[in-house]
Structure 1
Amino acid sequence: MAITSANQLELLQTAEAVAREKMIDPGLVVEAMEESLARAAKSRYGAEMDIRVSIDRKTGKATFTRVRTVVEEEELENYQAEFTIDQAKQYLAEPKVGDMYVEEVPPVEMGRIAAQSAKQVILQRVREAERDRQFEEFKDRAGSIINGVVKREEYGNVVVDVGTGEAILRRNEKIGRESYRPNDRIRCYIKDVRREPRGPQIFLSRTAPEFMAALFKMEVPEIYDGIIEIKAVARDPGSRAKIAVISYDNSIDPVGACVGMRGSRVQAVVNELQGEKIDIIPWNEDQPTFLVNALQPAEVTKVVLDEEAERIEVVVPEEQLSLAIGRRGQNVRLASQLTGLDIDIMTEEEESARRQKEFEVRTQLFMDALDLDEFFAQLLVSEGFTNLEEVAYVELDELLVIDGVDGDTAKELQTRARENLEAQAKAALDNARALGVEDSLVDFEGLTPQMIEALAKDDVKTLEDFATCADWELAGGWTTSDGERVKDDGILEPFDMSLEEAQNLVMTARILLGWVDPADLETEEKEEDEDAALQDGEEQTSEVGA
């Protein structure tokens, strides 16, 4: 087929028809046609030639041109598409590097192979345009709910028609007992939209906690308006869930608003989630109080929070233990997800036994270290003393409140405690030196003899060794592995060293060794403060704008 003999308007009509069908810009289809015609021309005139085709957007006329670019003589490689300044002088008046000489060439006859190749180019460009349009349409919809129609199921994954494309609901994102047939309507949460070589991939979910939050936002106007906020969601998809809410209007009960009249609002969400039971819990800034709410319907007797370890101990009556834990640990697991804390549940009897054991251990410590009888040692423990340091350096008045303790007895107790501590320190230091600890570490301010001994046992024997330690190696910490929090024991953790204290000690050691310039630290701190102030200012500006 010769382009010259074809109806020139037919190109534009074809482009518009394809664009309407695929819902893309007609200009993209025309560009694809230009590229395909250029390829056909290159197969006729030579692949090394720079042949370009331009289709008039009004008349549909296709113009074929050959382009040659002026380059430096030493850079000349393609003699068909490039030429030097001297060679260009016969075509251009004052040629310079980068100039192009364009001349029109006759249209080509498109044979069967060329036509097939042109068709493939156009289809490829159209597919790319479709993918770009689909990605642009859905990239900003991640985090929202979408309705679709089930097309088919492949190896447990459900392919969903979402109007202008397809999305996939993976097997692990389905609620356990759900099954779908073609043409079933389905409501999902758009979890992620990715641009991939095979086209944009839209990943859906029905198990994500955000799906439940979005459903409540649809059903509860107060959440949509921002009067009530969903602070946290924890789900065991298809079985049970807990959702924490807070109201910014004292006249509105957040739990009641989410439940609705006769449970109508929460029931709509439950029906969408295949009967998943939902506990709606009032949010509280006080973590122990919030946890007590999160463990409902179980009753809690006492809560002990360890903020540094992000762990919490909960004491419940014996008859409430199974209710607090829940079937297969479901209740305590969801409460843990909701609060972000590791929860240890024990009965009142177990807690009492543990406290009794601690009492006995501390009593024995005072009996051995201070040479006291059992009754006197028990008095110290009963008054809240837990270690020798507290006895040795506490104000005398705090010892005098103990029954039977006068001024002389209190001084004697402190003298014995200090002598014992000094003996322990000397023994620890002697042991550390025997292990090879150098004076640079012994003389370093901030470490006790017992700490130095513990470091020596872990092969940290010089100030240089200490300076290479990470803060968590000294103070310990927690890491998450396979979704579970794992404890990392620190060398100095038994001495109640915090991460901040470990950071300061390590940095001091590095400064003493000359590894770090204090001026650099001051500059970094100043920049961090400026960044923090700038960020606060931006947040305040956005709040005012909102």
Structure 2
Amino acid sequence: MAITSANQLELLQTAEAVAREKLIDPELVVQAMEDSLARAAKSRYGADMDIRVHIDRKTGRATFTRVRTVVDEELLENYHAELTVEQAKPYLEAPEIGDEIREEVPPVELGRIAAQSAKQVILQKVREAERDRQYEEFKDRAQTIINGVVKREEYGNIIVDIGRGEGILRRNEKIGRETYRPNDRIRCFIKDVRREARGPQVFLSRTAPEFMAALFKMEVPEIYDGIIDIKAVARDPGSRAKIAVISYDGSIDPVGACVGMRGSRVQAVVNELQGEKIDIIPWNEDQATFLVNALQPAEVSKVVIDEDAARIEVVVPDEQLSLAIGRRGQNVRLASQLTGLDIDIMTESDESARRQAEFAERTALFMEALDIDEMMAQLLVAEGFATLEEVAYVEIDELLSIDGFDDDTATELQARARDKLEAINTAALDAARALGVEDSLITFDGLTPQMIEVLAKDGIKTLEDFATCADWELAGGWTNVDGQRIKDDGLLEPFEMSLEEAQTLIMTARIQLGWVDPAELESDDEDEDTEELLAEDGEEDIG
């Protein structure tokens, strides 16, 4: 079939019909037709030729053009689509590299094979345009709720019709006891939209914490308007959930607003989540207060926070332990997810036993090191003394404030503590020297003899060795592995060395060795200060 003998307007009518059916731009369909005709023309005139086709957008007339490009003589490879400057002179007055020579050629006869090939090209281009349209549409709807209809189930995954495309609800994104049949209506959260080779993939979820937050936003106008904010959500899908909310209007109770009249608002969310029990908790900037709220309905007696380790220790009455932990640890696990802290729960009796053990241990330490009786050692511990250093170097007035302690007793205790520390330090230095520690490390300011002994046992025997250490190797730290916080023990952590102290010591060692120029450090500090000032000025301007 020759293009010239066909109804030329039929090309445009076909393009419009396909574009309307696939909901894409008609221009894309026409461009696909041009590409398909150009490919058919190459099969007729030769694959090496650069044949281009243009379809007039008004008349539908297809024009076939042969294009040859002017290239450098040394780069000439394709004699059918390229030519040199000399060869181009008969066609152009002053040819330059990059110029194109266009010649119209007769339209081709589309045989059966060529027509089939052209059809495949058009279908492929239309399919790609449809995929791009779907991706652009759904990528902007990510992190929102969508209503769909169940189409089928494949290996436990649910394929959902979401209008102009399909979404997939994987097995692990379904609430455990949910079952669906074809044509069931379903509400899901668009968790992610990805562009893949087989087309855009829309991944749905009903277990994501964000799904619950979005449901509350739909049911509670105050959340939608920004008066109430959802600060955190933790879920055990299908069983229990905790959601932390805060109100920016003092006259509105965030918990009451989310519960609604007679529980109507929260019940709507519970029904959508197949009866999942929801605890609505007031959010608080104070971590301890927030955690007490998060562990409801259990009562909390005491909270101890370790900010460096991002851990929190909670003491509850003995009879509240099972309630605080929850069935299979559910309550404490959700509270941990909500606060972002690792939570250790113990009973009041367990804490009392631990305190008694610590009291006995410190009493025994003072009895042995200071050669005093149990009563005097207990008095020291009861007043808060925990180490020999505290006894040796504390202001003497603090010892005199203890009942029964006079000047002679306080002076004698400090002398004994200092003598004991001197003996311990001497023994530690002797052990360090026996291990081969050099004087450069022994005389380094900031390290005690006991610290030097510990470093020596780990192979750190020179100032150069010490300067190559990382701060966390000395002070310890935490590493996230597969979402779990793993403790890294520091060599000097038993001496209560902080990360900041470790950084300072290591940098001082590097400066002494000449590895770092102090002037450069000062310059960097000044730049940081300037940046902070500029940032503050910017914030003031915005305010």
User: Normalising by the residue count of structure 1, what TM-score does the alignment of the two structures yield?
Assistant: 0.97
Structure 2, gaps ≥5 residues long: none
State the match for 1:510 in structure 2: 510
Kindly provide the amino acid, as one letter, of the partner of residue 74 in structure 2.
E
SS at match of 2:231: strand
State the match for 2:188 in structure 1: 188
Determine the C-alpha separation between the residues in 1 that align with 2:533 and 2:131: 42
Determine the C-alpha separation between the residues in 1 that align with 2:333 and 2:128: 46
Return the offset for 1:504.
2.1
Kindly provide the amino acid, as one letter, of the partner of residue 217 in structure 2.
K
State the match for 1:29 in structure 2: 29
After superposition, residues 223-302 of structure 1 pair within 5 angstroms as 223-302=223-302
Determine the C-alpha separation between the residues in 1 that align with 2:206 and 2:405: 68
Kindly provide the amino acid, as one letter, of the partner of residue 460 in structure 1.
I
1:8–1:199 Cα change, 3 Å: same
Determine the C-alpha separation between the residues in 1 that align with 2:216 and 2:431: 64
State the match for 1:317 in structure 2: 317
1:320–1:57 Cα change, 3 Å: same
Q: Deviations over 1:113-165 (max 9, x none)?
A: 11111111111111111111111111122111111111111111111111111
Return the offset for 1:320.
0.8
Determine the C-alpha separation between the residues in 2 that align with 1:196 and 1:27: 24
State the match for 1:169 in structure 2: 169
Determine the C-alpha separation between the residues in 2 that align with 1:538 and 1:138: 36
Return the offset for 1:537.
6.5
Kindly provide the amino acid, as one letter, of the partner of residue 471 in structure 2.
D
Q: Deviations over 1:220-248 (max 9, x none)?
A: 11111111111111110000011111111
Q: In the alignment, does 2:504 pair up with 1:501?
A: no
Determine the C-alpha separation between the residues in 2 that align with 1:74 and 1:316: 85
SS at match of 2:140: helix
State the match for 1:433 in structure 2: 433
State the match for 2:444 in structure 1: 444
Q: In the alignment, does 2:474 pair up with 1:474?
A: yes
Q: Deviations over 1:151-190 (max 9, x none)?
A: 1111111111111111111111111111111111111111
Determine the C-alpha separation between the residues in 1 that align with 2:398 and 2:13: 97
Q: Deviations over 1:400-426 (max 9, x none)?
A: 111110112111111111121122112
Give me the CA root mean square deviation: 1.6
Return the offset for 1:520.
3.8
Kindly provide the amino acid, as one letter, of the partner of residue 299 in structure 2.
E
SS at match of 1:141: coil
Determine the C-alpha separation between the residues in 1 that align with 2:129 and 2:535: 39
Determine the C-alpha separation between the residues in 2 that align with 1:528 and 1:5: 76
State the match for 2:461 in structure 1: 461
1:377–1:178 Cα change, 3 Å: same
Return the offset for 1:514.
2.9
Return the offset for 1:529.
4.7
State the match for 2:81 in structure 1: 81
After superposition, residues 48-67 of structure 1 pair within 5 angstroms as 48-67=48-67
Kindly provide the amino acid, as one letter, of the partner of residue 400 in structure 1.
L
After superposition, residues 95-244 of structure 1 pair within 5 angstroms as 95-244=95-244
Determine the C-alpha separation between the residues in 2 that align with 1:283 and 1:146: 28
1:196–1:513 Cα change, 3 Å: farther
Q: Deviations over 1:81-118 (max 9, x none)?
A: 11111111111111111111100001001111111111
Greater CA drift, 214-223 or 440-449: 440-449
State the match for 1:364 in structure 2: 364
Number of positions where the alignment pairs a residue of Structure 1 with one of Structure 2: 543
Kindly provide the amino acid, as one letter, of the partner of residue 193 in structure 1.
V
SS at match of 1:18: helix
Determine the C-alpha separation between the residues in 2 that align with 1:214 and 1:196: 27
User: Normalising by the residue count of structure 2, what TM-score does the alignment of the two structures yield?
Assistant: 0.97
1:538–1:64 Cα change, 3 Å: farther
Q: Deviations over 1:458-499 (max 9, x none)?
A: 111122222222221111112222332221111111111112
1:320–1:165 Cα change, 3 Å: same
Return the offset for 1:534.
5.8
Determine the C-alpha separation between the residues in 2 that align with 1:69 and 1:527: 54
1:524–1:137 Cα change, 3 Å: farther
1:524–1:138 Cα change, 3 Å: farther
1:481–1:99 Cα change, 3 Å: same
Kindly provide the amino acid, as one letter, of the partner of residue 284 in structure 2.
N
State the match for 1:338 in structure 2: 338
SS at match of 1:280: strand
SS at match of 1:296: coil
After superposition, residues 377-392 of structure 1 pair within 5 angstroms as 377-392=377-392
1:480–1:444 Cα change, 3 Å: same
Kindly provide the amino acid, as one letter, of the partner of residue 477 in structure 2.
G
1:2–1:146 Cα change, 3 Å: same
Determine the C-alpha separation between the residues in 2 that align with 1:539 and 1:314: 38
Q: Deviations over 1:207-229 (max 9, x none)?
A: 11111111111111111111111
Determine the C-alpha separation between the residues in 1 that align with 2:537 and 2:6: 65
Greater CA drift, 322-331 or 390-399: 390-399
SS at match of 2:195: strand
Return the offset for 1:308.
1.2
Structure 1, gaps ≥5 residues long: none
1:468–1:289 Cα change, 3 Å: same
Return the offset for 1:539.
6.6
Q: Deviations over 1:483-539 (max 9, x none)?
A: 322211111111111122222222222233333333443444455455556666677
